Amino acid sequence: MGNKQEMKKQDWTRLGIHLPWGLIPAGITFFHPLGGSLILVSTLVYEAFNDWRKHDESYRDVLGIVWGYIIGITLGIIIKGVVW
């Protein structure tokens, strides 16, 4: 009902597949902030161009990457206590 879109099983699978692509740069950020940030941005730019060319809803992949990065940074702060 309405314009609300529900997440399908395939969407959750795509999210899970792309979650590590956010966790990896998050982990690198704790040792080399610029390197982790560059890896994250380059991956997001790749996904943006991928969606622009193919129109395969790659924006859903970006959601998984961003969630992975946020989860990784949050876990790192909890474990390490400090970001840098």
pTM: predicted TM-score of the whole model, two decimal places: 0.78
State the pLDDT at residue 10. Answer: 79
Spatial separation of the C-alpha atoms in residues 18 and 20, rounded to whole Å: 6
State the pLDDT at residue 73. Answer: 92
CA neighbours closer than 13 Å in the CB half-sphere of residue 1: 0
- The pLDDT profile of the chain, 84 residues, written as one tens digit per residue, is 444 567 677 778 888 888 999 999 999 998 899 999 999 999 989 888 887 777 777 778 888 999 999 999 999 888 877 655
Tokens 């314009």, residue located? 3
The one-character DSSP state at 7 is P
